[in-house]
Amino acid sequence: MALENHNNLRKNENKSILSFFKSYGIDIAFVIFCIFLALYYNEFISVLRVPSHDGTVYLMNAHDWLSNEPLDEIYRPPLISWIIAGIWSVTGENWVLVKGLQAIFTIGAGVVLYILLRKYKGNAFAFGVAALTMVNGPVFLFSTQILTEGLSLFFLVLSMYFLKTQKEKYWFLAGITIALTFASRYPVFLQAIAIFVVESILTRKPKLALRAISSGVPALILIALIVYLKAGTFTTALSKDTTLSLLLSPYYIVNSINIWGIPFLLVPVALIYRRTYEDRFNYSFIVWFIVSLLFWSASSGNWQFRFAFQYTPAVYFLSILAIENIVKSSISVNSTIVSYHGAIRSRLKRIKRISRYELFGDFGNE
């Protein structure tokens, strides 16, 4: 009896372990993935001896904010320089201490993206999108520099996370994170606004939109005012980078495989599936991708791989969604075939039975 109870206890323990790994196995794999990615970032960044040109400018601006001197380049977004200045105010000015700053925000963006998609799409879907985003070549490369791409992506994804939650306090926070997206990289503000508009339309709750506006507008004004008081003007870009053209450049389409890899070929597949539009959760990612692609393609002459950084999650979301749609369609087709096969067999049996009755003059009686 005792042996039987012991065996039953071990079986229950094994079932519990299997159930745990079935529920959280992908989550554990994602945590391990993030740890290894962080170690790889550290190995790559540790060998850097000097910052890039843009990184040098952000470091100099951080020094200027800290020492109350005029900014070197006033059109640069201020948030990353503010963060660096905040760190230096405690540690002293040493650029080595902030070399990995952007990588931290890029990994953070991937974690927030995973948490968001896990809740609405499942952990396998979330792992696919987040992992592809974080190991993307341009995303990894530019995250090793002192730039603004990873920082802005973090606040952009965080804004979407808050907007997807139907609670007033989260929409209030979304207004702040949208403003911080603006402070981290000015052009990415357009993507944040596009997502905000889509979610506001989908929720059909003006009160939520007003909560975001009530926090976002003052935050935007405060950011612009701080920069204006420091620099005596407020400029978001060089004049040569502010010209847009109705004639869209094919640069990002032509270089799509180089930027996002083979998964980009699945994006059009996702967009032609009716199933894609049946789930309203997908709308923000669709608009995110389309608005970003059109905006950066409308530039009159400044096209770079790193400008595709901020909508890379939308590309991989649509890619994984295409695979999901194909799989579900295949299952649906197989089910339909099985159903029709059963119906046809039933009909043939009935025809055979009817023919037999007619042959023996007994039609309609069994």
pTM of the model: 0.85
- Output the average pLDDT for the chain: 86
**Model pLDDT for residues 158-169, shown as the tens digit of each residue:** 999 999 988 899
Confidence of residue 241 (pLDDT cuts 50, 70, 90): low
**Residue 280 amino acid letter:** R
Residue by residue, DSSP assigns 301-350 as S---GGGGGGGHHHHHHHHHHHHHHHHHHHHHHHHHHHHHHHHHHHHHHH
For residue 2, the model assigns a pLDDT of 56
244/242 Cα distance (integer angstroms): 6
4/138 Cα distance (integer angstroms): 59
Q: Enumerate residues 6+ apart whose C-beta is below 8 A from 317.
A: 117, 129, 282, 285
Q: Is the pLDDT of residue 191 over 60?
A: yes
Q: Is 112 exposed, middle or buried (0-12, 13-18, 19+ CB in 10 A)?
A: buried
Burial pattern 278-314, b for ≥16 Cβ within 10 A else e, equals: eeeebbbbbbbbebbbebbbebeeebebbbbbbbbbb
For residue 17, the model assigns a pLDDT of 61
Percentage of residues in the chain having pLDDT higher than 70 = 83
For residue 21, the model assigns a pLDDT of 60
Confidence of residue 351 (pLDDT cuts 50, 70, 90): very low
Find the range with the poorest average confidence among 60-64, 267-271, 286-290, 327-331: 327-331
With beta carbons less than 8 A apart as the criterion, state whether 66 and 88 touch. Answer: yes
Q: How far from each other are the two terminal CA atoms of the chain, in whole angstroms?
A: 59
Confidence of residue 260 (pLDDT cuts 50, 70, 90): very high
For residue 14, the model assigns a pLDDT of 57
**Model pLDDT for residues 106-129, shown as the tens digit of each residue:** 999 999 999 999 999 999 999 999
284/191 Cα distance (integer angstroms): 10
For residue 253, the model assigns a pLDDT of 93
Q: Name the 3-class secondary structure at 244.
A: strand
Handedness of CA 196, 202, 204, 205 (dihedral sign): negative
- Residue 244 forms beta bridges with which residues? 299
Q: How much is the average pLDDT of 267-294?
A: 94
138/115 Cα distance (integer angstroms): 23
**Residue 183 amino acid letter:** A
For residue 246, the model assigns a pLDDT of 81
**Model pLDDT for residues 193-216, shown as the tens digit of each residue:** 999 999 999 998 999 999 999 999
151/75 Cα distance (integer angstroms): 17
For residue 361, the model assigns a pLDDT of 39
Q: Is the pLDDT of residue 301 over 90?
A: no
For residue 358, the model assigns a pLDDT of 43
Q: Is the pLDDT of residue 342 over 60?
A: no
274/254 Cα distance (integer angstroms): 26
Q: Is the pLDDT of residue 365 over 50?
A: no
Confidence of residue 362 (pLDDT cuts 50, 70, 90): very low
For residue 22, the model assigns a pLDDT of 66
Confidence of residue 305 (pLDDT cuts 50, 70, 90): confident
For residue 354, the model assigns a pLDDT of 42
Q: Residue holding tokens 């896990």?
A: 118
- 67-70 — which CB contacts under 8 Å span 24+ positions? 70/231
